[in-house]
Amino acid sequence: MNEHARLTILSSANFSANLLFLMHMNHSSATYAEFACLRVLLEPIILYVHPLIEGRDMDSHSRPPKLMDRVKASMRVKRYSPRTEKTYCYWIRFFIRFHGIRHPAGMGGAEVCAFLEHLAVERRVAAATQNQALNALVFLYRHVLDQPLGDIGDFSRAKRPRRLPVVLSHEDVMRVLSHLAGPMHLMATLMYGSGLRLIETCRLRVRDIDFERQIITVRAGKGDKDRTTLLPGISIPALQRNITVAKHQLEERLQHGSVPVTLPHALDRKYPNAGVSLAWQWLFPASRPCFDDAGKVVLHHIHPSAVQRAVKHAMRAASLSRPGSCHTLRHSFATQLLTQGTDIRTVQALLGHKSVETTQIYTHVLGKDFAGVRSPLG
């Protein structure tokens, strides 16, 4: 068979695999058994075209890597989070397009300065957004191109206004929770009762819950740091039910195809059975499997956007006087602890803040900087 025919089969196989996968995913009554059968049916096609794939990979290794591939490789070596990688790649592409698809190696500080000026003046982005773009370009020139920018000169900086976080009273939070049910209710309870970020809640596994000491271990949180925080007693029965459900789902997957959960970094190679052990199961798994970057069928955690939608609808149903979000529940956790007289350093540790200055913003919300001063009108 000639090369053209084999390429045709390869493209057809990829198309068929994607089509069947989408059909399976959109079928409301799909089971893990059907998914396993689909994988078995596609396996001969994958094995047939595998030599061609290897040949194409060898050709690609002989060429120098593209710029964005170098950026991603550098970020992964330094253990940057996938979200940071996606954001940095976006700003680097934006920078290249802004300067007419010129290669960054042929540009320098003047072009970076002009780009940042454009963001602040023409696009009127927030200060945090402009700083994000600057950090992406500094990383590109320092770690990928090995051409440190140095002093890029003066440019218009977006002003960073001082904003106070939106917080809710305990009564308001309970009204919001009353409009949630099932896993969404439990996740919102943990964000308020433990001070968890949304993504930290989504990434909780069975092994992270310590019922005996009533502690939750947050792993690889913001800044890739671990910490422990409070486990509210009111959520223990619901968490125990979730673990029971996770155990039953794992047993079902083991009987029909053995779909593992996603694991951090290369842990699946070090511990091949970790993905199908109870300790590593997600407390809040996605409703259906997916493909990981290596093409393996895995089970990921629930997508944060699903939780955001549920909490947004609950806050709207609760008729709150101020709009809020998932992060509002975390803000409310901090203010409630400070109101109870908890030491600010303890609150800092529970929230996982790098600096106590970040935690002190909640004292402004409570008005504790007024040192007992009262209005003339009482």
Catalytic (active-site) positions = 197, 222, 327, 330, 353, 362
List, in sequence order, the alpha helices (H) in the chain. Answer: 3-25, 32-62, 67-77, 82-98, 109-121, 127-139, 170-178, 182-194, 198-202, 236-255, 267-270, 304-317, 326-339, 344-351, 356-366
Q: How far apart are CA 46 and CA 41, in angstroms?
A: 10
Query: Rounded CA gap, 176 and 182, in Å?
Result: 14
Taking CA 207 as the corner, what is the angle to CA 306 and CA 254, rounded to the nearest 5 degrees? 75
- Count the Cβ atoms, other than its own, within 10 Å of residue 5: 9
Using only C-alpha atoms, the chain has a radius of gyration, in whole angstroms, of: 25
Tokens of 143: 């770690």
Measure Cα distances from 352 to 10, 37, 83, 107, 154 in Å: 48, 45, 19, 39, 34
Choose among 217, 224, 277: nearest CA to 246.
277
State the amino acid at position 312 in one-letter form: K
Cβ-based burial of 139 (10 A; exposed 0-12, middle 13-18, buried ≥19): buried
**Cα–Cα distance between 96 and 145 in angstroms, integer?**
14
Is there a contact between 329 and 191 (Cβ–Cβ < 8 Å)?
Answer: yes
